[in-house]
Amino acid sequence: FFATAIPLALLQLYPQNNDIELWASSILVIPMLSLLLLRRVSFQAAAWMTIGSLWLAITLSIVRYSHANGMLEITYILLIFLASILLAGRRWMFVATASVLTSTVLAFAQLSGLLHVSQHTINEKWLLALFQIGTLAAVSAFIFWNRQREKAAIQAIQVQNIELEEQRNMMEQRSAELSTSSARLQLESQQRRQSMAKLRKAEAALRTSENRYRTVFEHDPNAIIIADLLTQKIVEANGSATRLFGYRQDVIQTLSMPALSPEEQPQWVNDDADLLAMDKATFHDLSVYEWVFQKADGEQFPAEVRMVRLPTIGNSGQLFQMSIVDITERHYALRALRESEARYRTLVENAPDAIVIIDAEAQCIVEANESAALLFGKSKIELLTADIREVLPLDSADTSYNTFAEIAEATKDGGTITVEFLHTDQAGEATTLEAHLVKMPANNRRLLRASMIDVTRRRNAEDMVSAIPGCVSVLSLDGDVLWANSAFIGRFELTATNLVGVSIKQFITAEEFAFMVAALRDQTGQRNFKFIAQSVQGAEMWLTTAATVIEFKHRAAILFFVEDAETPTPTLSETTPILDGVQISAEVAQQFQELIGAILNQSTIALSKLPQHNPARSHVDKSLAAAKQFANLGRNTIGEPKAAKISVTNIAVNTLLTDNDGLFALTIPPHLSIEYALEPALPEIHADL
């Protein structure tokens, strides 16, 4: 703008000055100002200002001097083209540009002679107007360009602000990340310090544990050996191991495990037990097996070995710890236990009593001996699979217990429970069985041992005692009255309610009772005695008694018969003087008569118990007939005051003994069994009185 305004001002001041130097100097100012604008503003503004200045100078030159050459015309056209390029796209300058270009074309056409007018269309005033319009357009373009530049600068600043904001956000994010990293580092540092503290504590605990383990290892009463699985070398051994095997510490650590064992193991030891144990211990499982070792002096001993694998680090091998316990005494005890068990089993299997083992919870028989199988008429297999209610029916027993579980509960602290029950065999015959139930030791099981015997004959004998006529009682071996019939109670002026505490020693002397017990012990069977007794009221009476040992209510007792004596006779405790043969014969006959009377009495009772269809009944009848003949002979002998030779009728002794077997069983103690056999042919019996 200033480069164009200076020449115009000079032309207005000096319109008639045609000095070319003035124009040249004004034109030379243009590139200088363009360089200044190029440094101060921008390349586009400098180019636009230069083109505009050249265009204005050329236009003035053409108008002023009406002169143009080819080079100037080409430059002029190029300037118009360049101006069009610079002004393209700016619609608000279209009018100014079009007017400038139109005037330029008209001026060029007029000067070149293409357009002829009466006077010049473009004079100085018109050119000044165009210049002013061009100046306004240039100023507007500059202002527009400046605003665009400001907008671009603002946008650049905004973009820069955005970038700065993004950078600030990135910095803040980075700062936050750094803060987080710093906090994480602090936390990791704190955790590392805590880990180091824990590590130090763990190391201290490990040292303490190692010292504790070392103390336990060294002072363990069991021999402990640590060996390598692959090389079988002994790595370490405690003091108990050195004492057990008889080696020094430095010597035993140079040995291998095979050196501590004999070349061959006994038959009861599995040769592969150590290998199987090592395979199991490889998986860190505890393996227990028995092995025979050999000491330094060659002595062999059985031992229980507990093997477990030890944890190792790196390539330190597979180490195993073996705890070795000498079980020599255990083997002796086990052998004694097995021998005792064999003796007990032999005793049970061969016992005359029927013995069964009952599981109280399962209500079944788990074991039985041969006597039990014979008693119940079944094989052992059938007995073990049979219903216990058929074998041992508690509903028929004289007991308040309903189940075997109740009996097991009652006997858990010891003691024996005795029950009687009826058993019916396959033939339909009922027998009375007495079972003694006691608790058996067992792990997690409630077992009962039942020992059973057939007490049918004993019960029949006890019933027979109750049915014996006359004055009868049952005494204990100490003389206490256990039972008495009404005749005995009346004879001694007792009552049925005061038998408790009553003793036969209240009626006879203690010496006489002791003599009777001693005589019964020396000779089984019935014995006859004579006593002078006194009743409760003090009345004196002469008694003839018969006594025998029986079993009464599971105990040994004395069956005591009492009869009145017709004439006073000395007691057996007194010495009878031997006067002559006649008196001896009379006394023998008297005792013989008493014996025959007892035989008649008991045989009559036995006969009353036998059914009519029993084949033994005829034999008992014959025995009774023979006994009556003896009685008659005895009475006749007593009546004759002289000795006589009497030949007696033969008696079937076998039949008499067998038929009176029920009475004979009364004399057997409860804890014994008796077997007897008679000769097939006995000699004839003669009595020489």
Smallest CA-to-CA distance from 582 within 644, 645, 641 is with 641
Predicted confidence at residue 24, as pLDDT, reads 47
Mean pLDDT, residues 176-196: 85
Give 473-476 contacts, CB < 8 A, sequence gap 24+: 473/504, 473/560, 473/562, 474/550, 474/552, 474/557, 474/558, 474/559, 474/560, 475/504, 475/557, 475/558, 475/560, 476/555, 476/557, 476/558
- What local confidence, expressed as pLDDT, does residue 681 receive? 61
Cβ contact 260:293 at 8 Å: yes
- Answer yes or no: is 633 within a domain: yes
d(CA 152, CA 158): 9
Query: Is residue 248 in some structural domain?
Result: yes
pLDDT of residue 21 exceeding 60, the answer is no
Alpha-carbon distances, residue 676 vs 89, 144, 214, 238, 495 (angstroms): 155, 156, 75, 69, 42
Worst-scoring range by mean pLDDT, 297-306, 368-377, 449-458?
A: 449-458
Q: Among candidates 624, 635, 626, 616, which has minimal Cα distance to 689? A: 635
Stronger pLDDT, 274 or 379, i.e. the higher one: 379
611 and 681 assigned to the same domain:
yes
Which tens digit of pLDDT belongs to each residue from 106-128?
A: 666 665 666 555 444 445 555 55
Are 224 and 323 in the same domain?
Answer: yes
What's residue 217's pLDDT? 77
Instruction: Check residue 503 and give its pLDDT.
Output: 82
Mean pLDDT across 130-153? 67
By DSSP bridging, strand 430-440 and strand 527-534 are unpaired
Strands (E), 229-326: 234-237, 287-294, 300-310, 319-326
pLDDT of residue 643: 44
- Whether residues 569 and 641 share a domain: the answer is no
Q: Is residue 185 situated within a structural domain?
A: no
> Residues, the chain, total?
689
Mean per-residue pLDDT for 656-673? 58
Predicted local distance difference test score (pLDDT) of residue 564: 61
Q: What is the structure's pLDDT at 341?
A: 73
| pLDDT band for position 647 (cuts 50, 70, 90) | very low
Domain boundary among 279, 300, 333: 333
476 lies in some domain: yes
User: Rounded to 5 degrees, what angle do the CA atoms 113, 116, 121 make?
Assistant: 105
Confirm whether 340 is domain-assigned. no
**Mean pLDDT of all residues in the chain?**
68
Q: What is the pLDDT of residue 385?
A: 79
Answer yes or no: are the C-beta atoms of 553 and 459 closer than 8 Å: no
* pLDDT greater at residue 91 or residue 415: 415
Domain range enclosing 559:
468-575
Q: Are residues 434 and 476 in the same domain?
A: no
pLDDT for 431: 77
Residue 628 CB neighbours (<10 A): 13
| Spatial CA neighbour of 503 closest among 529, 471, 481, 534 | 481
Domain limit, last residue, from 404, 426, 454: 454
The reported pLDDT for the residue numbered 121 is 46
Query: Is the pLDDT assigned to residue 300 strictly greater than 60?
Result: yes
CB atoms within 10 A of CB 38: 17
Q: Which of 353, 377, 536 is nearest to 451 (CA)?
A: 353
Provide mean pLDDT across the span 667-687: 58
pLDDT, tens digit, 9 for 90 and up, residues 565-602: 554 443 333 333 333 334 444 555 556 656 666 666 66
Q: What pLDDT score was predicted for residue 131? A: 55
Provide the CATH number for the domain around residue 327. Answer: 3.30.450.20
Rounded CA gap, 510 and 216, in Å? Answer: 73
Is the pLDDT reported for residue 426 higher than 80?
no
Same domain for 7 and 36, yes or no, is yes
186 part of a folded domain? no
pLDDT in the model for residue 677: 63
pLDDT band at 98 (very low <50, low <70, confident <90, very high): low
Mean pLDDT of 10-17: 55
pLDDT of residue 463: 66
Query: What is the dihedral angle through the alpha carbons of 140, 144, 150, 155, rounded to the nearest 10 degrees?
Result: 170
Residues 7 and 151 in one domain: yes
Specify if 627 maps to a domain: yes
Tell me, yes or no, whether 257 lies in a domain: yes
Question: What confidence tens digit (pLDDT) does each residue in 211-267 have?
Answer: 887 777 787 888 888 888 778 888 888 888 888 888 888 888 888 888 888 877 776
For residues 540 and 296, which has the higher predicted lDDT (pLDDT)? 296
Among 454, 476, 509, residue at a domain's last position = 454
The string of pLDDT tens digits covering residues 428-452 is: 777 777 788 888 777 777 788 888 7
More confident residue, 3 or 163: 163
Claim to verify: residue 554 and residue 625 sit in the same structural domain? no
Say yes or no: 152 and 31 in one domain: yes
> Rounded to whole angstroms, how far apart are CA atoms 545 and 523?
16
Percent of the chain with pLDDT strictly greater than 70: 48
Q: Read off the pLDDT band of 277 (50, 70, 90).
A: low
Q: 642 or 496: whose pLDDT is higher?
A: 496
CB atoms inside a 10 Å sphere around CB 134: 22
Those residues whose C-beta lies under 8 Å from the C-beta of residue 574, and which sit 6 or more positions away, are: none
Looking at the structure, tell me whether residues 31 and 47 fall in a common domain.
yes
pLDDT, tens digit, 9 for 90 and up, residues 352-365: 778 888 887 777 88
CB distance 606 to 659 below 8 Å: yes
User: DSSP string covering 529-543, please?
Assistant: EEEEEE-TT--EEEE
Question: What total number of domains does the chain contain?
Answer: 5
Q: Do 568 and 585 share a domain, yes or no? A: no
Virtual torsion, Cα 499, 500, 505, 510, nearest 10 deg: 160
Q: Is the entire prediction scored with pTM above 0.95?
A: no
Residues 672 and 688 in one domain: yes
One domain for residues 618 and 557: no
